[in-house]
Each structure stands twice: as C-alpha cells, then as structure tokens.
A and B are shown apart, each in its own frame.
Chain A
Amino acid sequence: MLAKIVLAILYIGLLLWLGYKGWREDRQAGDYLLAGRQASPFLLALSYGASFISTAAIIGFGGAAGAYGFSLLWLTFLNIFVGIFIAVTVFGKRTRRMGVALDAHTFPELLGRRYQSRFVQGFAGLLIFLFLPIYSSAVLIGVARFLEVNLGLNYTWALFFFIALMAAYVLAGGLKSALYTDALQSGLVFLMMAGLLVFTYAKLGGVGAAHQALGDLAPQVPAALKSQGMLGWTQGLETGSPLWLLVYTSFVYAVGIGVLAQPQLVVRHMSAGSDRELNRSVLWGGIFTLCITGVAFVVGALSNVLFFQETGQVAYTVAEGNIDRIIPLFVSNLLPGWYGVLFLLAMLAAAVSTLGSHFHVGGASLGRDFYERGLGSAGQGEVAITRLGVAITILVTLLWGLVLPPSVIARATAFFFGLCAAVFLPVYFLGLYWKGMSKAGALVSMLGGAGVSFFLTVFVHIKESSALGLCRSMFGVDSLAAGAAPGSLGALLQYTDPNLIALPAALVLALAVSLATPRPEDDHIELCWRHL
C-alpha cells in the first residue's frame, strides 16, 4: 500500500509539473490552441490520443465484454469505422468548413445558425445540459469503482473524493486540455493496454489457444446470464433474447452510431486548424481506438479464463454480478501490483481529461446556447451563467453517481449516445449535405426524435420504465409492452433501445417536413456552403 501511495504522489507531481510547463508556454504563445502547433508531430499524436481514451469504454464496456463476451467486438468495429473514419471523412471536414462560414463555436450553435433558429440552438443546449451529466456520471462511477477495488476506499467516499478533485481542477482553470499531460497520459495508457494484451495472450498460450479456452468455458455461464440468452463468451447471444437486444441495440448500435453526434467531439472537428489535422486524426484515432476498446473488450472477455484458473469462478460471479467491477478486479487481483497502481493513475488522469471537457460543454450549453441564444439574453451575464452551468453539471454528475444502480456504466453511456443520435444526427447530417433541409424540418425532427425516445424510455423500455415508476402509477404495469406474447413485437420492444426507433422516426420527419415546407433562402444557403 505504501508503494502505491508513493507512486501515486510521484505521478500526480509529474502531472502538475507538466501542466505548469504547458500553462507557461500557452501564456507565452497567447493562445492555447495555437500553442500546440509548435510541438513535435510525435508529441501532438500522443496528445491527440488522449481524446480517444475513455474510462467508460475501458471499465464499463470492458466489464460488459467480461460478462457478455466477444459480441462487444462489433462495437470495437463501429468505434473505429464509424467513430473515427466516417466521423472525419463524412462529417468532420464539412463540419469544420460550415462552422467557419457560420462562425459557430458549439455544436448547438452550428445547428442553430444552419437553421437560423434560436429555438434549435436553445433546445439542443438545454438537452445536452440536462442529460450529459448521466454520461459524465458513468465516467465518475468507473473511477470510483477502481478506487474502491484497488485502494479499498468506500465507494461513496470515492465518488465524493474524485468529484472534489475535479472541482479543484476546474477552479484552477484546467478546463482546457494541456498538451504535455495529455501526451503523458495517452502514452502511458497505450503502453499499458498493449502490455495487457500481450500478457493475457502469452499467459493463455497464444491467440487461438486463448479463444479456445474461453469457448470451452461455455458450460460455466452463470444461470442469471444463461436465462437471458447468453450461449457463451465466444459462442455469442441467442438472437432476439433480452441480452442480444441489450448488446446489439443499446451498446453496439446506440454507442457505435451515437458517437457521430457527440457535442464534445463535433467541437473537436470545428476547432481543427485545417484538413491536415483531421486527416492525421484518422491515423492516430484508428490506432488508439483499436488499442483502447479492442484490447479492453478482448481482455475483458478473456479475464473469465484467468479468473476461472485462479478462483474456479468466472468474472461475473467474482464481481458478484456488478459488471462495473470486473476490470478493476482483474487489474487489481490478477496483475502485478505496480501495474495495478499505474493503471489506476492512468484511469484517474483520463477521467480528469474527459470530465473536464464534459463540464466545459455543460457550462457552454447552459450559458451560451440556452441562456444567451435560446432565451435571447445576449451580453447579460453569459459568463456567470456558464460558470453556474459548470457548477451544476459537476453537482448533478455526483448526484447521478450516488443514485444509479450497479452495472450501469455501459447503459448510462448508451443512453446519452443514443439520445444524441435520435435528436441530433438527422438534422446534423442533412444540414451538412442537403440544401433543401428546412428550419421547420429541423424543429419537427428534433422534437419528434426526443419525444419518441422519451416516450419509449418512460413507458416501454422495461429497464428504465420500471425504475422510473411513472408507467406503473399511470397504467398499473411496469411497461406498456408487459404481458406481450414471447417473441412478439411487444416483447421485443421491452428490451429494444428506444433510439433504434426514435432515430429513423426523426429522419423520416426531417425529410417529410422539409419536402413539404419552403426551402431556406438562397442567400443563407450560399453562406452555409461558402467553403464546401
């Protein structure tokens, strides 16, 4: 324990020194964004990698792979092909150019100016401000679970400790990402994830032998998972079963597609200096995402073999059914102590970086998008409202962390990603590519997508509708689809992610209403398309 604490102090000291070094250079350069242009390509590549590191992906979805197996690898494929390649080549470059033409600084502002609508910007800002903390809490919970398992801290105290650390970080002005700390953090995580993959495969006798050993564990699938449709970790899930619907509609679809409409990632496209930065981000993003999510999901699943060899139990059983604890338990119990503490510190640094960007977006969504533009209060205390927005986002993130149940990291992440896809993706994509996409089409699509998503979440999707209780109080059942015949559409709807239905509905509404209403004025379209 003493060695862990000494290592932690050394690492945090190094981070603080690098942060100070970066801050001093940024001040001399006068502009934090331009300061990075002087750095070496290797340092920049490492720094850029930090934005692909997600504690939710490693701990939450890595744990989901530990429970549900290699089915999660379809999310790795979508993370790379859609989240990196399509995001930059289809969305990123046009986003940057239209963002410049419209002088937009946030994702809601880009939509608001494309559709000449204060309501669009205000509604988008409000939605992000209200629901981003659910995703932020998934990151917070991941770190708290790691502190609980690795350092033996009480889980609730771990939540308070880390949110206090974040508040101090924000107060110190650390919302803007620091080049050197990001580079150190991503270099460390990259090396550790690569080491983790090599260690696991080597320990299990190679790639084929490891997968074979995992497949041979199929008879050990816990009854709780078998009854929900689990066949085995390399055998997959029974088509149409509750687990199959959870993994493929919530995790793979909602997260794999929803990444395209993440407000904090769209801003990254908008603030790129040129297409060159975006092109290079495809290169680094492909490598880092394979190394982060690919390794986390493969090792998460293979942890079952190592747990079984050590304890005679599979990961789900060792974690007592809380899949958020699988990766922390694996790192803490089955790997060398020095590795565990380095991994913990890297997760802490990654979470600080991720949550910093979340809190920045949360504050801007309330101050700039909702208050200044949506309510039309320009120049009257926007900065104060933005700071209030940051403070509220931090507080609400902590509250969600306290009330959300176990095994929630992947679900909470999927909820926010899916909601962003349903509400924003049709108007974002059509706004970039179709000159006929109208303001009325955008309004109806966003409201319709949000309406369908919320209705299904509150009244049909059993996991949320039963927890919220509104459906039971109004209709006497946990879900309007409860009691449907097995295999019927109603039975499937109970477990199908609401946004699998809400996104196509929003797309149809956008197309139909835009075709039926006047096109935007030629002058405005010419402005939007000026650099395209």
Chain B
Amino acid sequence: GWAYVLSILAALLCVVYGLIKFNDAG
C-alpha cells in the first residue's frame, strides 16, 4: 500500500519541482 501511495507522492514531487523551476535556466 505504501509503494502505491509513495509512487503517487513521488510523481507529485516531480510536478511541484518542475513547476517551481519551470523557467530556471541556471
């Protein structure tokens, strides 16, 4: 059950990170 939930949370982490850094070109 944790594997199921953590997979969704990991995808959410990627989405949040990607949105925050969306225009950060470094």
Q: Is A334 an interface residue (CB 8 A)?
A: no
Q: Is the pair B15, A283 in contact by a Cβ cutoff of 8 Å?
A: yes
Number of interface residues of A (CB under 8 A): 28
How many interface contacts (CB-CB < 8 Å) are there between A and B?
Answer: 78
The complex places the Cα of A424 from the Cα of B19 at a distance, in Å, of: 31
The A contact surface, by secondary structure, is helix
Which A residues touch B18, using CB under 8 A?
279-284, 286
Most buried by B among A80, A89, A287, A289: A80
The B contact surface, by secondary structure, is helix
Q: Is the pair A283, B17 in contact by a Cβ cutoff of 8 Å?
A: yes
Q: B15-26: contact bitstring with A at CB < 8 Å (1 yes, 0 no)? A: 101110111111
Q: Is the pair B8, A279 in contact by a Cβ cutoff of 8 Å?
A: no
Q: Is the pair A283, B22 in contact by a Cβ cutoff of 8 Å?
A: yes
Q: Is the pair A77, B3 in contact by a Cβ cutoff of 8 Å?
A: yes
Q: In the complex, which residue of chain A has the Cβ closest to the Cβ of B20?
A: A279
The complex places the Cα of A419 from the Cα of B23 at a distance, in Å, of: 36
Q: Is A377 an interface residue (CB 8 A)?
A: no
Q: Tell me the residues in window 22-76 of chain A with beta carbons closer than 8 Å to chain B beta carbons.
A: 70-71, 73-74, 76
Q: For A77, give its contact among B10, B25, B26 (CB under 8 Å).
A: B10
Q: Is A125 an interface residue (CB 8 A)?
A: no
Q: In the complex, which residue of chain B has the Cβ closest to the Cβ of A298?
A: B4
Which B residues touch A93, using CB under 8 A?
26
Which A residues touch B23, using CB under 8 A?
276
The complex places the Cα of A161 from the Cα of B17 at a distance, in Å, of: 43
Q: Is A359 an interface residue (CB 8 A)?
A: no
Q: How large is the interface on B (under 10, 10 to 19, 20 to 34, 35 or more residues)?
A: 20 to 34
The complex places the Cα of A488 from the Cα of B12 at a distance, in Å, of: 41
Q: Is the pair A81, B10 in contact by a Cβ cutoff of 8 Å?
A: yes
Q: Is the pair A282, B21 in contact by a Cβ cutoff of 8 Å?
A: yes
Which A residues touch B4, using CB under 8 A?
70, 73, 298
Q: Report B15 CB to chain A, min CB distance, Å.
A: 5
Q: Report A492 CB to chain B, min CB distance, Å.
A: 23
Q: Is A274 an interface residue (CB 8 A)?
A: yes
* 26 pairs, A vs B, C-beta closer than 8 Å: A70-B3, A71-B3, A73-B3, A73-B7, A76-B3, A77-B10, A80-B11, A81-B6, A81-B10, A81-B13, A85-B10, A85-B14, A89-B17, A276-B26, A279-B17, A279-B18, A281-B18, A282-B21, A283-B14, A283-B17, A284-B18, A285-B14, A287-B14, A289-B11, A290-B11, A294-B8
Closest 6 CB pairs of A and B: A283-B18, A286-B14, A275-B26, A279-B21, A73-B3, A290-B11
In the complex, besides A70-B4, A276-B26, A279-B22, 12 extra interface pairs with C-beta distance below 8 angstroms are: A76-B7, A77-B10, A80-B11, A81-B10, A89-B17, A274-B26, A275-B24, A279-B18, A279-B24, A283-B17, A285-B14, A286-B15
